[in-house]
Amino acid sequence: MKKKIVIGITDCSKYNNYEQWVKDEEGVQVIKLSYKDNNLVDVEKRDGVILSGGEDVHPRFYNKLEYLPYCDEIDERRDEFELKVLEYTESKQIPLLGICRGLQVANVFFGGTLVPDIPAFGRFNHSKFPEKDRYHTIQVDANSDLKKIAGDIGEINSAHHQSAELVGKGLVSNAISPDGIIEGIERKNKTGKSFLQLVQWHPERMTDLQNPFSKNIKLSFLEAVRNS
């Protein structure tokens, strides 16, 4: 029997997808983390954290107010809440997986910036189609932890119009799309640091959940949680 662990997942409109994805594994319990429930204190009860997808991060948090006209839905209270979650996970060295918006808010936490609208800034559209996610390949850095986890090339789903621009301090890009969009981020120096993988795609809802860029992402995170 596997060690029981508690995963905190930040709230979003598709929260159930993330909850089911991790609860499919033996011994995993879940706590919802949400400013709407005013339950920041619950982050202390978890063994690992997943930052979920959702709204755009307000550009004031990365000092680019001129980017505001390019943004869509924004929830500054959620931004503030999740930045506090990140402050806690970093201070306590809690394993963390960031997904889509989760990559973006984590990158901002570490001092990075975002591309506010990918097509407006000269790259192909990475948003989802009306009824389903877009899919494209990514190339993974051969020297990265992500390569050890999932491989050096693969197909992932895509449903975002923003992306990382300048990567935050202490972080490094570990995967890019064919048109040069950052698709993954991890720590530059892992020595003495907790697990941190940030992915721009949605491993929790890929068509093929056995794809290593879905299954192995989840399993590597849960293993890091159990071993922390």
Given this model, what pLDDT does residue 5 score?
A: 97
So what's the pLDDT on residue 3? 86
Domain total for the chain? 1
Residue 14: what pLDDT? 97
105: CATH: 3.40.50.880
**Is residue 107 a contact partner of residue 208, using CB atoms and an 8 Å limit?**
no
For residue 158, the model assigns a pLDDT of 98
Range of the domain at 130: 5-227
pLDDT at 192: 93
**DSSP conformation class of 63:** T
Q: Rounded to whole angstroms, what are the CA distances from 53 to 2, 3, 178? A: 28, 27, 22
Q: How confident is the chain (228 residues) per 10-residue block, as mean pLDDT?
A: 92 97 95 95 95 98 98 98 98 98 98 98 94 96 98 97 98 98 97 97 97 98 96
What element of type H or E holds 218? helix 215-227
What was the pLDDT predicted at 54? 97
What does the alpha-carbon distance between residue 152 and residue 143 come to, in Å, rounded to a whole number?
10
User: What is the structure's pLDDT at 1?
Assistant: 73
Q: Give catalytic residues, as residue numbers.
A: 100, 202, 204
Pair 8, 48: CB distance under 8 Å? yes
Provide the pLDDT for residue 2.
Answer: 81
Q: Please choose, from the candidates 143, 158, 64, the residue with its C-alpha nearest in 3D space to the C-alpha of residue 107.
A: 64
pLDDT for res 189? 95
